[in-house]
Structure 1
Amino acid sequence: MTLRGRLTTAFLVVVLGPVLLGSIFVALTVAMVTRDRVTERLDHAATTVRTGVGAICRQLQAVADAIAVVPGSDRQAVADQMRARGLASDIRIGPTDAGWQDCAHPGTGAADAIAATATSGNLTVTAARQVDADFLGRLTAASGARITRTGRPTPESRELSAGPGQPLRLTLTVRKGDPAFLYAVLPALVLGAALASVAVARWLARTTTRPLGDLAWAADRVAGGELDTRVPIQRPDELGRVAATFNRMTRELQAYVQALTASRDQLRGHLAILGETLSSTHDVHRILPVILRTAQAATGARAGVVLLIDPAGDRLVARCGVGLTGDWDVPDDELTEKSVVIGEGVLGTVAATGEPRRGQGRVGDAEPPCRTYLAVPINAPITADEPGEPNAGPVPLGVLALYDRVGGDAFDDGDLHTLRTFAGQAGVAVHNVRVHEEAQRLSLTDPLTGLWNYRYLRESLRREVERAGRFGRMLAVLVLDLDHFKDVNDTYGHVAGDAVLAEFARRIRLGLREVDFAFRHGGEEFVVLLPETDAYGGAIVAERLGAAIRDRPVSIEGAQIPISVSIGVAVFPEHGDTAQRVLRAADEALYAAKKAGRDTFRPAATSANRPVIKSAVSRNEIDGNFDRQTAVVSGPRPPRRSRGR
């Protein structure tokens, strides 16, 4: 029945029911007072019996439910208490008696008791009420009819069949009354009918408004954050459909909130990894993949790539990628061969203009294939050169791009904002790495000559000595000192002296291999390390460097300044078994070259009376080995870490 039907029925019962019942009772009492009196009494008795037995069944059900939900340690005590209070004559925890009649599912046989059963997991609790003479006597007293378990049918009796809520087969018998009594009880019957109509109307109203109350209660709980609240569906009517829709809405809302919570937790995890990476390393090859994977997870993208502007400044070179397809689906070590011309295509336009772009469709043959894309520029942090001085705008470093959002939807404004945030992190990371590398380079190089400084000399000498000792190789150490450099400063000035030192350093770099190291030890003194070189090879290099310095004066503002160099040569492990000793031996050899008249070299001696080794290389051989057009420039390179550290 629909809600409208229940409301209409309630109105008719409340308003017309008492009138109709009163009219019927008056008409019937005039014509058939005797017969109807019996019928009414039987009806009343049957109703009373059903109500009484139903009440007892509900009471037994309540007792069984109450015992089933209490903890197992308290269950027997509660059962005893229920029996003591007279709520049940017997309570079984476990299997039931075969002679008991279940209130909800009555059988056809005779029963010694009526019972109600409750289950909790594997536990069964049964509460029973014994059907005895006392029980039947109370029903007789309540119904006004004599009640027996069996009986012969008569006009004054009626047999009640067993059913849910009334599991007993009973026979109700009333005494045929005097018609005069009928007239005495007629007003009472009319009043009872009116009261019954009111009760029915109230019941209908309650059953109608109860679903609305449940719905309001559930809505309040959902508003309070309890998204697992559900509304019980009493009937498949309009209110039932509203309750079903409400339950579906709360389920979908709960799933959406759970998805958002999972996404938030995942994003927090990626941000934690990103923060840990940014704070623990200056390796851009580790930082950029973490930023890319975090941005991909935050936006739901299928693929992505990070490209940085190469030193030449005209192309974007791929540094890392995830999920790329087509020609860009290559191993990581080959990905750096992929590049895009700045100003061409989507990625090139973003790098050239500094403006983000997003859209759908193909982006060009030179870029990764996709259905949707989102690309933002990676810029260095904006800083002013001087306080109060306006900055020159963002410095482009590269592009961060994502492709094909999972689910097929295009990237939205929220994704753009998120990717800009990660691009900002990438810009800060790349800028910091480059600043760190530059600071490290400046801390290890001499600003005047561009050679490694004394700090890096100590580290490199120790490392090369350890390496030579580990592999049984030799290491030649040359200590060089410009002759009469003080006279150059006194005669031409310190500016000219600085220019002489810079030119001297340039010639040293031209005369060395790429694997060799050149250092400015301090003032006009320099040190050269020659890995895997013996004393003879060190003498050749010393002779060649001396000739390169001696043969060409330094031209400064029209003046030709002749310079020469004295060189000391020592070899590990021949002249020293530690870094300090071999350097000291080369330094002593330098002083020997100074005492020998300068503009020459001397090898280190192992004893005081050891003869001086003359160069076995002729001037022609030296000139032939030193070609200024093909010489390899040996200067500061990024510091190398020792394999033993």
Structure 2
Amino acid sequence: MTLRGRLTAAFLAVVLGPVLLGAFFVAGTMSQVGHQRAVERLELAANAARTSVGALCRQLHGAADTIAVTADPAHRAAAVRQLVGRGVAAAIAITDPAGRPVLTSPEQPVPQWLDCAATGPATGGAQALGVRVELRDGTGTVTGSVIALQPVDPGFVARLSGVTGAAVTLLTDTAGPPTAAQTTEADDGRDEVLATAAGLRGDGIAEAGNGRYVRRVGPDAEQPLPLVLSVPGDAAQGRSAVLIGAVLLAALLAVLAARALARSTTRPLDDLAYAVELVAQGDLTARVPVSSGDEIGRLAATFNRMTRETQSYVQALTGSRDQLRGHLAVLGDMLASTHDLPGILRVILRSALAATGAQAGLVLLVDPGSGTLVGQCGEGLQGRWPHPADPTEAQASLRDPRAIRVPIGVGVIGRVAATGEPRRGRVGPDRPLSRQEPACETYVAVPFTAPGVATGFVAPAPRSASGALAPKPTVLGVLVLYDRLGSDEFADEDLHTLGTFAGHAAVAVENVRVHEEVQRLSLTDPLTGLWNYRYLKESLHREVERASRFGRMLSVLVLDLDRFKEVNDTYGHAAGDVVLAAFAGRVRGEIREVDLAFRQGGEEFVVLLPETDAPGAAVVAERLGAAIRDTPIPVQPHSVGGVTPAGPALIAVTVSIGIAVFPDHAGTGQEVLDAADDALYAAKSAGRDTYRMAVRAPRADGPVPPTAPAGPGTGRPEPVAPRAVEETAATSSGASSVPRPPRSGRGG
């Protein structure tokens, strides 16, 4: 029998297994269906019981309300007789505030009854259901109560059983073991039903030993009676047992047959497995004896030929491996010691081209903002754009690789970036190139990720707002080579080699990004995220030089939170940090993208407004003051005396602002900053929550022009006589109209 015949027989044996399992499933399904039917019957019975008891309670409540709204005692007696006579309630009693009977129906109320409004455990065995309604006079004073009752007797329980379609047992006490007060359960099954009910909690359902399904209902808000409901189970257990036995027997026979077939099939493969194990341990001299001409015999012959060829390949690869290790060691040292990213990527690309024999190559990095791959460096790309969308694209890409932009998910390169999965192959209808990619016949492309993160396809990448696929978060870029020399296609070994170079590229990109991040952190304030004082000095010097070179203006705003020390003293320094961070966020939201915001220290901030004159700076100051003043900042205050307030506090904050303009008020960066600082003192002295414009630097041909103060608390300048633009800006100041307070008082 050939291997194909043996495998066919084994397949038939394996198919028999699922068939038998299906039979087993049918048996289980039959049992489950019987159980589900019992559960559904109990659910319907429980709902019917709640509905019936609830309707009775509402009927009793209506009777009690009818008596309670009848003011005349004589009419009350008639109403009691009428309601009892109609069967609305079995008994009705009217009591005084002390609970003594004042009026009772002919059918005396039972001494022990259960209130329909009760939701707790029932104890002592209730003889009736009842409703109590208070009697009140015209002033709202309680003058007694009305009690309407309905006995809970065997007839009631029998009627409830008929309504629910299940056997009903009324318990005497829910605090201890279940004890039947009234029941329609058969005598021979009552004890098993009660024993099963003792182990139930809530709406749980259990099967008793006599085959009945049991459920406890109440007491709860819908009905106050402690009940046990039971229904008979399905009687198909005998058929299920026979079916299960047949399934087990058939499964056993199938296992025995499959084992015998597997043994006859695998015996010829033992020799081959042993030889493969030797080869896996490095012994390429292992050979398999060829004892037959069937499929296994041909497999053994092919294995022997493979080991001989592998020996020759290993000898050739061993020499090239040592040479490649030396080059990679030198390359790795260079990558770890420099931050010249373009130079590093260029070296990596050239090394990859030399190692694989490719004719051309390209390195691209992901631009998360635009969702595209941007070229960084390329080799051998001349003439590879036969039909660009724009005739200038090909020449632009040759001059500057950054002109190459491939959307994520588009073309071969875009799909590699989107999935994080390396690719190699030949261009064809199933793997088309995008118009942004260089033309080629064969390619190999690998992604490179952040160090320590493995690549691999995990899920289809989401699409960005522009419709392009968004890259996996860990993918940094793609290394792609085109058209290998002397070979039709790139091999799997080229994927592994290119993966090594991609790993070095990832290290280089990550090193440069870490370096840039460290530089950024050294120039920003950690609390507010604004630029720090160090970067303020550099930026002020640079912006003043630019304004001077191009004949432009530069406005400087110095901002200080009013009475910030009181915030720290009242709410704690943690709340003060929240206020500073929120203040910084509002400042960022009110300035342009070209404007720069800094935290100079403490609660003092600086804003640089390039190409902005004095009136424009005043508008910005008004806008900043309104943004801070109009919306209090929510903070969580610190605990006082060990007690933490329940909710956040709203802190109303205002800001004082000093404005100076280069070159109107000073001639250097430090001088214009000092002038704005002096104007800030003037704003503080003028009552805070305002701004002041700095005094213009004295001219050689005349005195300082007059200024008018801004309105305190509004940040709006007082009207003055019109002058030139510079003089109008100065009119908004008032910095010279008040004496400068001592420097120690500026914190308020």
TM-score class, shorter-chain normalisation, is 0.3 to 0.5
Higher relative contact order (CA 8 A, sep 6+): 1
Q: TM-score, normalised by structure 2?
A: 0.42
Q: TM-score, normalised by structure 1?
A: 0.48
Highest CA radius of gyration, 1 or 2? 1
**Whose helix proportion is higher, 1 or 2?**
1
